[in-house]
Chains A and B, each alone.
Chain A
């Protein structure tokens, strides 16, 4: 039976230490990242895994481990910005080796989980992540995608959406903010061999938990890209983390899908979609773009893009059905 949150509440109650991440962390009010960490860890614990987590430098890392404090009650390692995948490759291999040497019991059921932001994933950490996936380390890599270098004050990343106003790609008189399209990171990771890759949204906990479960039980590396609203730099109310996530799914901005060994599956197909403008309008980061005289033109292009991408996803689902590469 799939894990559900009522059952989780029954299990964990108010004992966050049993989940793995506890109170007293210093992430901004309403931050999406601790919710993503909590969803992931609760699922792992509920399934009987012993989580060991690795963090890339970023919001979640700095705010949870300000020495001598730590918000983690599971083993935790942060090494640097670009190398959480390599670091966790080492941790996972150590466990494998120590089992082989007979120094730890064979039946220890670890869940090696890496958490990284978009900077540590799309940009500086992409090589290390690709290496980890290519080598087949059994690590679940969870991207909390807040779509920019938010820890350092909203700089552009490869995960920043088109038209978003950031400090290094600001909306100016000539240039309308970021002009490039966000990398399709799940497709990049999903294009490796023998990997499970998926998108997730906190606005759909059941889908989120199911994907974590699938990832942890997957015989190989797995990757989950979870949209992580940043209240501060998406310029949204602290309370809007979930509602904006929901809008992202409903407007095709953040389609929920997975790639399991080459097989695409769209895990949520809303009957009706909302126009993309609703997602954009809900956030102050798009306000400078939307105030431009050419706003309509740009928004139309973006709408066209998400429509096409959705059609393409459905086509890929159809084309790859049951055609597992391995």
Chain B
């Protein structure tokens, strides 16, 4: 668990925390379009720009499609460029999300997770992020506002590393984090500035002495090679993430990794989840531990690249694993479940495993739901091919 010094912290919403990370990063360009629940990030940031707190040039674009297009242009030009979005906005960006990754532009984008229509809904689930999981972006998930702040800063270094050069989505749960107030310990501005440093420019468009062509027509003779490079870049991201996390720990005292184990040492039953639900899971772990159940949790901080080895390390040999998904994959297994199950194929001692879909469209997840899923595991009542639902009316 994060140790937050309450004396040094400020009670802020996730949106304010992220906007302040952006203020401290002070990117050259921010292009954004407001969408609930991302809106307050853009509002806070627009105020920083209007007040001259940052030198950032803001482009108040007419759509998310143009937001992503403009940051692609800005990043290619040689600027550090950021945007932020949610759900339908991310879906509208979709085409350019792929282009950002394949053009190897290190754009950092907070994504305030919200259910992707339809019917239209404004509340939290992870269907928006999951629709982009094969886009070539690094995907990080925050449990708390502190993490959303920290990961936004850390993401800059990871994205811009010359061996990575990939865009990063920092996911934070809509409303729960974006509009929920929590204590956040901010780093001093100059510390963040020094940590992120000046962006390293690779093939900047504005270098007219060395003109480059971005976005050519890439046919069957080279497209495949470029895709292979993206695969490699993800491998590099995996290798370099611990290094960047270590450097971040030096300035913050907060340690990040691919995953966060919680009371796992002797745990026989482990729950795996993304995002803010982990706080509820930890609460239930504590509660059930008091009753003598050997339960624990594994939080996934990094979903792409998927930290398979870490998952195997932590889950191999457990009695049972319960995977919670805040999105469904209609006609197939839920995204996180599918990934965990696939990782466990190589485990020497495979745990029993069960899939639970919860919280779609912002449906509340309460400790009793989580306890119920744990109890299923403990009672040997898990079916590998059965998708179950928490908090759903029959």
Task: List chain A positions with a Cβ less than 8 A from chain B.
Answer: 50, 52, 54-55, 61-62, 65-70, 72-80, 82-83, 85-91, 93-98, 100-101, 103-104, 108, 110, 127-128, 130-131, 134-135
Contact = CB atoms under 8 A, between A and B. Distances in A.
A103 B57 CA distance: 14
Given A90-B71, A98-B28, A77 B66 contact: no
Interface residues of B, number: 45
A50 B216 contact: no
Contacts of B207: 75
Given A88-B73, A91-B74, A50 B214 contact: no
B211 interface: yes
5 contacts: A66-B219, A75-B211, A80-B96, A86-B61, A90-B29
A130 B65 CA distance: 14
Contacts of B211: 72-76
A91 B61 CA distance: 14
A130 B63 CA distance: 11
Given A97-B79, A98-B79, A128-B69, A52 B205 contact: yes
Contacts of B215: 55, 65, 77-79
Contacts of A89: 31, 59, 61, 66, 69-70, 73
Contacts of B69: 79-80, 83, 86-87, 89-90, 128
Contacts of B206: 52, 75, 91, 94-95, 98, 104, 108, 110
A86 B73 contact: yes
A79 B96 contact: yes
Contacts of A67: 216-219, 221-222
B60 interface: yes
A87 B70 contact: yes
B392 interface: no
Contacts of A87: 69-70, 72-73
A74 B205 CA distance: 9
Query: Which 9 A-B residue pairings sit nearest by Cβ, starting from the closest?
Result: A90-B73, A90-B70, A131-B62, A86-B66, A94-B77, A78-B215, A94-B79, A86-B69, A83-B69
A212 B279 CA distance: 60
Given A75-B207, A76-B212, A83-B96, A93 B70 contact: yes
A54 B76 CA distance: 11
